[in-house]
Amino acid sequence: AYQPAAADTGLVIGNIDKRYEIKVKRSKSTHENMSMGFVGNMDYYVSSLWIFFITFKLHFDDVDSISNIDVDRHLELGKVLLTKGQFADALTHFHAAIESDPTNYISYYRRATAFLALAKSKSALPDLNKVVELKPDFLSARIQRGMVYVKQGKLDEAHIDFEQVLARDPGNPDALHYYNLIGPLQRDIEVAYLLMQDRDYYRAIEVLSKTLELCPWDAKLHEMRADCFIEIGDISKAIHDIKPTTKLRNDNTDAYFKLSKLHYQLGESDDSLQEVRECLKLDPDHKECFNFYKKVKKIVGQIKSIYEFMNEKEYDRCLDKVQQMLKTEKELPTYVIKAKAFQCQCHLRANQISEAIRVCSETLAMEESAPVLCDRADAYIANDQFSEAIRDFERAENIDPDLSRAREGKQKAEKSFKQSKKRDYYKILGVKRTDNKKTILKAYRKMAQKWHPDNFQDAAEKKKAENKFIDIASAKEVLTDPEKREKFDNGEDPLDPESQSGQGFNPFGQGFHSFGGGGNGGGFQFKFHF
């Protein structure tokens, strides 16, 4: 109860904006005066609050009106963009419409339509659920949701939705069509399971492929077909089936791990490393992924180093790295063959021709490969085994008809074979096709000293030595000139009068008559020009 103070006092009673006050003096009628004042002010308060709430309601009616205009505008713009196929832009407007009015079921329905157009069924489904929640009798949403359920392989849920539609609209063609599909689909899935149990993988693949045409977003069906492909050895198709399951299932570490192992099995180490990293992103503590990651990363690093050493012409280091690779992966044939192919290339580029032929042959015994056949063919050419080179290039062409290296290599080998029937400058000097200029000059000096015509007295022997010496000088000219040597290596004799304009090569120049130091020989004295 109110208790007045002992002395004069004042009581201040204010409304919301504190504009009114009442001062009450202590007297016999204190309580009466105070009560009258309070009642008077209460009338004012009630009046003020009534005005306030009316104003508040009018304000929100205006806001609500503006909000409805915004929603309609966003819905209309989104609809136009949908018809133009600009689904992402349409989504922006549907987001805005839902933000303006979260109770408008049309906004959710149209946004779900945009999501489905973008193949984002997981995003569309919550919106369709919301539509059905806000307006249970909106049959289009139930039909759309039922169709999504069918594509996801959720056939029981789809059955319920189509049943609900048919209860209200028995003749609905879409609902009838999908409702009648559900039973056969369920039976096909059961048949696929039984076929897999019987190890009849080809027939299982056939049934699953038919089922996946209607249920493309069913991760389980993709996984089943992938397992069938793995069993029949078609790893590429298995990868193609597992890939979409990484999106169809949330945090699908198992799919990424399986993809990594399958890519590795195919020898696709870079792809394998990428997939196992995705596994670790989702679960850094995944023990199997982490152990496999270390192995794949090591192999990828070794392959990268092998290429670098070949490009830098560090062939000994290249061969060392190949040995490390063979230790890292001893069992999987894909990587053993890949390492041996690298070994063949390193030996070939290092001019270790016999080793190159041996290692290439070992590799081809494991698996016939067009690039390795071309490598061995090049080694055969360097070893003057032209018939063998032609045969290898032909085999490579049969494996890969579009391989230009095989086609061009065969032409080169055929020219070299024809050329070997004429003058072979390498054989004349007794050098290999892979020998450098320094080795060729050394061989030339040795041969020139041996076959110098002045070393022979008998006329027949002198004539033979003269012809031999001309060949030696010709060989030196061709094999020490990079341009001429390249032509010769490609099957063309740059000194052959039949293919060159002008006269053939004469190492003695104009006016040559004889060797010797005087007398009737014309005073010619031979000198070496190095």
CA 170 to CA 351: how far, in whole Å?
A: 82
Query: Which amino acid is located at 370 in the chain?
Result: A
Considering the chain, tell me which residue range(s) the CATH 1.25.40.10 domain(s) occupy.
62-187
142 pLDDT above the threshold of 60: yes
Confidence of residue 18 (pLDDT cuts 50, 70, 90): very low
- pLDDT for 15: 37
Q: What is the DSSP letter of 480?
A: T
Question: What mean pLDDT is predicted for residues 479-503?
Answer: 76
Please give the angle made by the CA atoms of 157, 161 and 162, to the nearest 5 degrees: 115
Q: Which residue has the tokens 């929640």?
A: 133
61 pLDDT above the threshold of 70: no
pLDDT in tens, 179-234: 999 999 999 999 999 999 999 999 999 999 999 999 999 999 999 999 999 999 99
- Asked if 420 contacts 384 with a C-beta cutoff of 8 angstroms, the reply is yes
- Asked if 452 contacts 465 with a C-beta cutoff of 8 angstroms, the reply is yes
Helix axis angle, 235-242 to 253-265, nearest 10°:
160
- pLDDT for 21: 38
Long-range contacts of 295-303 (CB under 8 A, 24+ apart): 295/328, 295/329, 296/260, 296/264, 296/269, 296/272, 297/273, 298/328, 299/269, 299/325, 299/328, 299/329, 299/335, 300/269, 300/270, 300/273, 302/328, 303/269, 303/338, 303/342
Q: Which of 295, 209, 229 is nearest to 257 (CA)?
A: 295
- Asked if 136 contacts 160 with a C-beta cutoff of 8 angstroms, the reply is no
Through-space distance between the first and last CA atoms of the chain, rounded to whole angstroms: 131
515 pLDDT above the threshold of 90: no
CA 130 to CA 105: how far, in whole Å?
A: 7
CA 292 to CA 273: how far, in whole Å?
A: 9
517 pLDDT above the threshold of 70: no
- Furthest-apart CA pair in the chain: how many Å? 170
- pLDDT for 276: 97
Of the two residues 418 and 394, the one the predictor is more confident about is: 394
62-187 placed in CATH 1.25.40.10 = yes
Question: What mean pLDDT is predicted for residues 321-329?
Answer: 95
- pLDDT for 188: 97
Considering the chain, tell me which residue range(s) the CATH 1.10.287.110 domain(s) occupy.
426-490
Long-range contacts of 331-336 (CB under 8 A, 24+ apart): 332/264, 332/265, 333/366, 333/367, 334/265, 334/266, 334/267, 335/267, 335/299, 336/366
Helix axis angle, 437-450 to 459-479, nearest 10°:
170
pTM of the model: 0.66
CA 105 to CA 88: how far, in whole Å?
A: 20
- pLDDT for 330: 87
Percent of the chain at pLDDT > 70 equals 81
316 pLDDT above the threshold of 60: yes
Q: What is the CATH number of domain 426-490?
A: 1.10.287.110
- pLDDT for 67: 60
Query: Which amino acid is located at 478 in the chain?
Result: V
The half-sphere exposure of 129 on its side-chain side, counting CA atoms within 13 A, is: 8
- pLDDT for 432: 85
Q: Which of 259, 153, 161, 142 is nearest to 216 (CA)?
A: 153
- pLDDT for 48: 52
- Asked if 386 contacts 420 with a C-beta cutoff of 8 angstroms, the reply is yes
Region of 444 please: left (phi>0), alpha (psi -120 to 50) or beta.
alpha
Lowest mean pLDDT among 94-98, 289-293, 432-436: 432-436
Report the mean per-residue pLDDT for the chain. Answer: 83
Percent of the chain at pLDDT > 90 equals 63
Query: Which amino acid is located at 328 in the chain?
Result: T
16 pLDDT above the threshold of 90: no
Q: Which of 256, 97, 228 is nearest to 113 (CA)?
A: 97
pLDDT in tens, 432-483: 888 899 999 999 999 888 888 888 887 767 888 888 888 899 889 999 999 9
pLDDT in tens, 328-338: 998 899 999 99
- pLDDT for 361: 96
SS3 of 15, please? coil
116 pLDDT above the threshold of 50: yes
* Structure-derived torsion over alpha carbons of residues 345, 348, 352, 354, reported in degrees to the nearest 10: 90
528 pLDDT above the threshold of 70: no
- pLDDT for 391: 96
Confidence of residue 129 (pLDDT cuts 50, 70, 90): very high
